[in-house]
Amino acid sequence: MLGGCAERADAPERPNVVFIYADDLGIGDLSCYGGRIPTPNLDRLAGEGQRFTNAYATSSTSTPSRFGLLTGMYPWRQGNTGIRPGNSELIIDTACYTLADAMHDAGYGTGAVGKWHLGLGPVGGTDFNVEIRPDARDIGFDYEYVIPATVDRVPCVFVENGRVVGLDPADPITVDYHKKVGDWPTGRENPELVRMHPSPNHGHDNTIVNGIPRIGFMTGGRAALWVDEGIADTIALKASRFIADHAERPFFLYMGTNDVHVPRVAHPRFEGKSGYGSRGDVILQLDWTVGRVLHTLDSLGIADRTLVVFTSDNGPVIDDGYADGAVEHLGDHTPMATYRGGKYSLFEAGTRVPLLVRWPARVRPGVQPALFSQIDIYRSLAVLAGAELPEGAAPDSRDRHPELLGERQEDREYVIQQNLANALSILCDGWKYLEPSKGPRYNALVDIELGNHPAPQLYDLVDDPGERRNLAGEHPERVAELARRLEAVKAER
Ligand code: NG6
Ligand code: CA
């Protein structure tokens, strides 16, 4: 019989990798992080692996965090990496050697399933009626089944290997983000046709699809439109199929959930089940999705040799533009935990996210307190996959696989965060410096402090993790030193 050590010695050196990116999930949203809504599958993942308490997304919105993750380059080094519309061009240069390229060239089968939000097609606007190129397949993925942008943005269709799924060529899709196209009703003109209303003054009042007004205008593609209640099922199914199809060889699955982004429309199985309104219901749905993936790995007998990484693209927001009852039903649930800000913010709740890592053959269960940034996932996974990177690849990423696997607990030298206004902060030795920013201090629509301030800010995160006392005036030398370090990183390329 094999004992624990023998099992470890036999462990495959190169794991399969399932990377799961949740959307807008907060550090306080999972029950294993103190959340009130039960998340048994994610708690299982945490209990069988490493649960990080000081892990950061690069940015407090989706597109830049995803860009940083797949390129290993800070998104603020490139111009078009802010929140993208649904007809955006692919913003990752096909010449860039991405994480998917690295895994592919190391012999992994590579797939992207679910939320994409990095654009598809050429500059000038995606044509959804032809084979869309360049797409995920041009930056290292063998397979793609994606939501082009977000579920609150048109077009409301899935794209599989460059083709809109279920498109009837006789009913072509037109998309425009500036002016109305076709004659489909919009939230602005036909509010009586809407089943989920936008929050006052928020937008989300363009073309109505499935009773939900979206951002952007579309017409056509009726047969291809997704059903909002079924999106989580589709993502779980496509992810599981990809895993099953690749069970015999190493694979890398990059999986983006729509949950818990708006519009929060849970399948009837979850609707009303959390007791915390629509946002709570889609947390249940997210947990179920992860449960399906874990079940697939178990049933194929490959859980032991599969590294599962679960994290979020940015922090939480309660009212993100639909009157969906999330604020009213929040109750005692605290998505931001004790941290200041939220999605869009330079304060901690904007980028400090849950991170869970499980690999039964190698990772021992535990809590990982090391300071960790998602920018390092690229090189850490590349090392574990035995990938050799060309000169210039992943310029900002560092190999931190010992931290990722919980084998070492060293802090990263520094972590840089970015907010919606492209202001940056640097966190180092427990001190956090926020560079001056002319952006708005507060977004009343989403009720979040954005961290922008015309003067420098300095917080002692050890004593004051809630960033309440700006100590910049008391420690000018520390402000100068951190500002200098931040400028040095900016100047690196
Ligand atoms: C904002 C949207 C918000 C969400 C966000 C992107 C409005 C008023 N707000 O502009 O609802 O879609 O963009 O979120 O339209 S992210 O997580 O994909 O970055
Ligand atoms: Ca997001």
Neighbour tally for 331: CB within 10 Å: 12
Choice from 63, 66, 83, 115 to test ligand 1 binding pocket (greatest atom count within 8 A of CB): 83
Give residue 200's pLDDT band: very low, low, confident or very high (50, 70, 90): confident
N-to-C CA span, the chain:
54
Instruction: State mean pLDDT over 245-259.
Output: 98
Nearest to 424 by CA among 338, 491, 378: 491
pLDDT of 2 strictly over 70? no
**What are 24-76's pLDDT values in tens digits?**
999 999 999 999 999 999 999 999 999 999 999 999 999 999 999 999 999 99
Instruction: State mean pLDDT over 252-257.
Output: 98
Give residue 302's pLDDT band: very low, low, confident or very high (50, 70, 90): very high
pLDDT of 287 strictly over 70? yes
The pLDDT, as a whole number, for residue 12 is 53
Nearest atom in ligand 1 to the alpha carbon of residue 261 is: 17
Instruction: Extract the tokens encoding 190.
Output: 């036909």
Half-sphere exposure of 396 (CA within 13 A, CB side): 25
Instruction: State mean pLDDT over 219-227.
Output: 98
Weakest mean pLDDT among 198-207, 279-288, 330-339, 382-391: 198-207
**What are 147-160's pLDDT values in tens digits?**
999 999 999 999 99
CA–centroid distance, residue 150 to ligand 2 (Å):
9
Query: Read out DSSP for 11-42?
Result: S-SS-EEEEEEESS--TTSSGGGT-SS--HHH
pLDDT of 101 strictly over 80? yes
Nearest atom in ligand 1 to the alpha carbon of residue 322 is: 11
CA–centroid distance, residue 256 to ligand 2 (Å):
10
Residues above pLDDT 70, as percent of the chain: 98
**What are 428-461's pLDDT values in tens digits?**
999 999 999 999 999 999 999 999 999 999 999 9
Instruction: State mean pLDDT over 247-266.
Output: 98
How far, in Å, CA of 26 to CA of 118, rounded?
22
CA-proximal residue: ligand 1, atom 10 (nearest): 83
List strand residue ranges (DSSP E) for 326-479, in order: 355-358, 366-368, 372-373, 415-418, 424-428, 431-434, 442-443, 448-449, 457-460
What long-range pairs does 278-284 form, CB within 8 A, spacing at least 24?
278/324, 278/325, 278/326, 278/329, 279/318, 279/324, 279/326, 279/329, 279/330, 279/335, 280/37, 280/329, 280/333, 282/232, 283/25, 283/29, 283/30, 283/35, 283/37, 283/39, 283/259, 284/37, 284/38, 284/39
**What are 366-382's pLDDT values in tens digits?**
999 999 999 999 999 99
Residues above pLDDT 90, as percent of the chain: 96
Ligand 1 proximal residues by C-beta, below 6 Å: 23-24, 61-62, 83, 117, 150, 152, 202-204, 215, 261-262, 314, 320-321
